[in-house]
Amino acid sequence: MASILVVDDENSMREFLEIMLHKEGYQVATAAGGGEAINILKKKDFDLVITDIRMKETDGLQVLKKCKELHPNTVVIMISAYASTSTAVEAMKWGAYDYLPKPFKVREIKSVIHDALATAHAHEHQEKEAAETPSAPHYHGIVGESPELKKILELIPRIAAATSNVLITGESGTGKELIAKAIHRESPRKDKPFVVVNCGSVPETLMESELFGHKKGSFTGATATRSGLFEAAHQGTLFLDEMAELHPPVQVKLLRAVQEKTFKMVGGSEEISVDVRIISATNRDLEREVMDGNFREDLYYRLNVINIHMPPLRERPDEIPLLAQHFLEKYSEQMGKDIRKISSYALDLLKSYNFPGNIRELENIIERSVALEASNIVLPDSLTLSSFKQTQVQSKTESVSLTMPQEGIDLDNVLGQLEKDLLQQALERTRGAKQKAADLLGISFRSFRYRLAKYGLGGDDDAPEEEKEAE
């Protein structure tokens, strides 16, 4: 049973919350002011603190700061009838989970409390797991804790110790090159070159020369003898990124190099021996490419001795907050900014997105947000300044036809239906939490409530008795 401390200098609000929370099965203590709350917190820890912001003598921000100093894991929700954006930002900066402007509905505060406690429980569980789990090897920039990624990371030392070729599959932006680098750096070849070639970025006419080198005069423009990437990777690792883009003539010569560990330069007759481990990567279905005749079957089996599949980010959404925080710290340091946190609303927005560009897209979004954010916390507005917003809006309105028929339209009706649909989707996304829904839509809470009433979606007039506002 969770314990909650309610702090408010208004008797009616304090008593209302105490009664409501007792009915929900929580252990509840109350404080009639910030000073009293701090004295209680010095003696006892709570799972959750709900505190008014504006109070005489000791305000809610002071309570928040002291609470986080004494009990860093305690979740704090701020409430106020006078909350401004700057106050909310300040509260979030100091570690508040959320804020609710008065007046609010019972189901709103219930929803926020439920989410806050669930988040706190998840964090506690993660910390416990981390404490009980032996330290994992360092994997050079690979961030993530999903079961899928953990399985891959557990395999890397064994794969690295072998000499077999490796094929890494997965969508663009899933971190295939990072895995390849980790294998190399954990291997006996770690002190030798790690050479990368993007097979899709080199013209077909130059690919053979790029891989195997060429002799002077072997083709127009070959003004000097030049070694290729196979020689550059001798005794090390050659990473063939997007290797499905290789054209058939190059595939033939690559097959021989892989099988025989020898090759000839373009225009050369001398056999050159190399000791190279090949790690390949592709975002295509290579088996399908083989069946369609676009990729040699024998080369496929030579390269695909050990297979690693990187799952897309949408299949491991629990990693989004961890990755987002990692990129936040990275780009805050690079840009000389003091942005320490991503707001809960912004994280909710990120977690609801399917990231077709995977980790690379998330990194770009966070980098852009850090560049544009004026405060020291990433808010939803800084996310919506990017192409991310456009994609989100498109995904949310995909069921709405925006093509005007020949006979014309009633613009007011169409816009009204679009607005109503988005209101409903926002409520569904936040499980009825109106403040969060308003933030998802980028409008004020009062504007959101007005629009709900306008379309008969649960405004004040049709609210049941138990959900009347807590003034």
187 neighbors 213 (Cβ within 8 angstroms) = no
Same fold, 3-132 and 319-396: no
pLDDT band of residue 140 (cuts 50, 70, 90) is low
| pLDDT: which is higher, 297 or 138 | 297
CATH number of 147-310: 3.40.50.300
319-396 topology per CATH: Helicase, Ruva Protein; domain 3 (1.10.8)
Q: How far apart are CA 187 and CA 200, in angstroms?
A: 27
Task: Please tell me what DSSP assigns to residue 313.
Answer: G
Which pLDDT does position 459 carry in this prediction?
46
Q: CB under 8 Å to 53, separation ≥6 — which residues? A: 59, 60, 61, 78, 79, 80, 82, 83, 87, 91, 99
pLDDT band of residue 146 (cuts 50, 70, 90) is confident
Please say if the pLDDT value at position 130 is more than 80: no
> Edge-to-edge, what's the strand order for the sheet holding 306-309?
194-198, 237-241, 277-282, 166-169, 306-309
Greatest Cα pair distance in the chain = 93
> Which CATH architecture group holds 3-132?
3-Layer(aba) Sandwich (3.40)
What are the extents of the domains in the chain?
Answer: 3-132, 147-310, 319-396, 414-467
CATH number belonging to the domain at 414-467, selected among 3.40.50.1360, 3.10.20.520, 3.90.25.10, 1.10.10.60: 1.10.10.60
**pLDDT tens-digit map of 191-204:** 999 999 999 888 88
Q: How far apart are CA 163 and CA 70, in angstroms?
A: 53
Which pLDDT does position 141 carry in this prediction?
73
Q: What is the pTM of this model?
A: 0.58
Which pLDDT does position 262 carry in this prediction?
93
Which pLDDT does position 105 carry in this prediction?
80
Please say if the pLDDT value at position 109 is more than 60: yes
Q: Which of 60-64, 93-97, 355-359, 455-459 comes out lowest in average pLDDT?
A: 455-459
